[in-house]
Structure 1
């Protein structure tokens, strides 16, 4: 087999091995058998909600298994065509087989990336919050740049964006902003973006053109439906109302329609000002709080110690996940995975996929290591 084609085949087989590992192949087949048996039991529909949940799990698992099997069958067919062409010295068949293998490789690469999105709430829409760190106008301008970056990324994915809250800076930028990003696997893609983001640049607000370092924090949590029960006691909740500001239009500033909720046991704070109705803003804020508490529980289950620490860290040195250097050189580096990109403007325009895929793989590997340690 020619070296170029052999390299493609090796990469496909490596991807298929990873897909099987991520799917936990033997256990996935066993679980599908269990779900098929349950589906044949008429009594399952005595609880329609539970039945629908099981049917969704069955359909999702069956789809993943069949896609791997389909790719394995296609690579076998392409290799058979290649071997036949090589035996008969048929260059057209060899070329066709190679093109099929290249196409299969592209599909396995896509499946490998999607296999990383296997968390409990990865398929959900998500809330994304950006808050400026200390530093006044510098940090507030950086927060606005991050909001623009995530907006561009979401638009490129075909996701929809709904604004929940936006608090403008005194001179420029944003003190804070919250949006809902709606689309398949929105939370799964963005969940690892939570953390502190650091910017180094020549300040456009400094008359002496000095280099400044700014920080902003990002928080991502899933939109959840009413079937997920999150108990919030009245005694644990403080509700404040205030006059809205920002992009909501002049009418929102005439009454104290904006709502801020603080969950006292965890210190989690959410706020909403996207509607002139305080009642609607209160309902949205409550949905956001339920989602934040749900995400908080997910983190506790995954990494209890780190999750607890993350809720208490300052927006500053020592806690950043990514560094964006625009001066004296251009380099954006993820401090967890080591991924670097020199095209800083491209990243700030929403080219985030390399960072997202690497951080998802990083967290998946860490989860696997923890499981192995627990088993040992």
Structure 2
């Protein structure tokens, strides 16, 4: 029986804008230069201790100058970038306000809604950038006070945490400005299907589900697992997790394809990889796409997940393309049909975009990419640990960190490669 669980977290994401233009690219290139004073950083965790003296010793062991350098670098990034970004976003804000003043909101309610939504989004970004400025100033001031107070551990921890917030926001903001594809700003539905080969692919599928859930939590994304079909012997056969947050599709679209685990299970080296197929479908949050599909082109079937029939699963096949989708998370057959139909429309729009055709009727069935034939990433657990992204060439040796949801290097590499 399909089991479902839900987990929700919220975040305000910066919307994409081409207005930043060359100013951002110039500052970004300076930031990513290998000079240690303005590069992106990965921070080591600080272990808790039982006394101020022990904490101070721990900071000294980490290297006070190194810790201060990391805080100062985050402050420098903020001071270099924030004023320009704030100027651009405030200009966008003023433009949206002018559009509201110059138009009659009652004449075109749909257009008015779009303008008001954009205005609210820009306002959030402006507020976040102002808050970023305060955090950078806070980190700088606290560091100076810590020097005066003979290396106070508590003050340095406060400055360090503020600098982490600064770096995290700058990374998210920079990435959001690279999302320029049509559906990049939409939410995302991640569909996970275990391959054949016994229990191991199903266990691997469950690990990938956990990886994406942890990634979402780290990003502050609002996400929930809407469908989950467990295996009797452990693991899962399939699952769907929805991220109802802006830019989720833009970030995760590069995850589509086969994820293979190569290594050992219970001490036995596997000769063949455990394969899991991941599909990413846009989850439209604010934009409505008027895509009409003839009923004669659809085959709709229903079946119960279990004998009690409490979960009426709906499967829809699009005859011209052969695309199949399903939904079983809703409480009624009608709701599942609507959900499945929306997923079908989203998949068809993505395929039409990939093939460069203007309408769904122009999609060539033979040219549709088969995800099970598209290798995306390899995870090696034995005899050594390595995660290799096939499309971008990025390799990371910390397998445990990746499975803990730290997939940002792969996401960033994919976006930069497009």
TM-score (norm 1): 0.70
Q: Which has the higher helix share?
A: 1
Residue 58 (str. 1) matches residue 119 (str. 2): yes
1:242 deviates by 4.6
Separation of aligned partners in 1, 2:287 and 2:303? 33
**Which of 313, 325, 332 is equivalent to 2:387?**
332
**Which of 286, 305, 309 is equivalent to 1:252?**
309
Report if aligned partners of 2:228, 2:239 keep a CA contact under 8 Å in 1: yes
1:333 deviates by 3.6
Match of 1:241 in 2: 301
Match of 1:304 in 2: none
- Alignment partner of 1:60: what SS? helix
Separation of aligned partners in 2, 1:13 and 1:281? 51
**Which of 129, 141, 145 is equivalent to 1:68?**
129
Separation of aligned partners in 1, 2:129 and 2:91? 16
Report if aligned partners of 1:81, 1:93 keep a CA contact under 8 Å in 2: no
1:219 deviates by 0.9
Report if aligned partners of 2:82, 2:129 keep a CA contact under 8 Å in 1: yes
- Alignment partner of 1:315: what SS? helix
Q: 1:46 to 1:323 in 2, by over 3 A?
A: same
Residues 177-225 of structure 1 show CA distances to partners (whole Å, capped at 9, x for unaligned) of 3343445655455333222201113356x9x864331221111223225
1:165 deviates by 6.4
Give the root-mean-square deviation of aligned CA atoms: 4.4
1:56 deviates by 2.2
Paired residues in the alignment total: 339
Match of 2:327 in 1: 272
Report if aligned partners of 2:142, 2:158 keep a CA contact under 8 Å in 1: no
- Alignment partner of 1:243: what SS? strand
Say which structure, 1 or 2, has more relative contact order (CA 8 Å, 6+ apart): 2
Report if aligned partners of 1:132, 1:139 keep a CA contact under 8 Å in 2: yes
Residues 232-270 of structure 1 show CA distances to partners (whole Å, capped at 9, x for unaligned) of 32167322425334xxx43128x9x43222234444321
Q: 1:185 to 1:312 in 2, by over 3 A?
A: closer
Match of 1:373 in 2: none
Report if aligned partners of 1:260, 1:271 keep a CA contact under 8 Å in 2: yes
Superposed, 1:97-176 pairs within 5 Å as: 102-115=160-173, 116-117=175-176, 119=179, 124-133=186-195, 135=197, 137-151=199-213, 153-154=215-216, 159-164=222-227, 166=229, 173-176=235-238
Q: 1:229 to 1:188 in 2, by over 3 A?
A: closer
Separation of aligned partners in 2, 1:309 and 1:10? 52
Q: 1:296 to 1:250 in 2, by over 3 A?
A: same
**Which of 369, 394, 404 is equivalent to 1:312?**
369
TM-score (norm 2): 0.64
Report if aligned partners of 1:125, 1:223 keep a CA contact under 8 Å in 2: yes
Residue 366 (str. 1) matches residue 403 (str. 2): no
- Alignment partner of 1:228: what SS? coil
Report if aligned partners of 1:202, 1:327 keep a CA contact under 8 Å in 2: yes
Show structure 2 runs of 5+ residues with no match.
Answer: 1-63, 357-364
Superposed, 1:6-21 pairs within 5 Å as: 8-14=71-77, 17=80
Q: 1:236 to 1:20 in 2, by over 3 A?
A: farther
- Alignment partner of 2:290: what SS? coil
1:19 deviates by 6.4
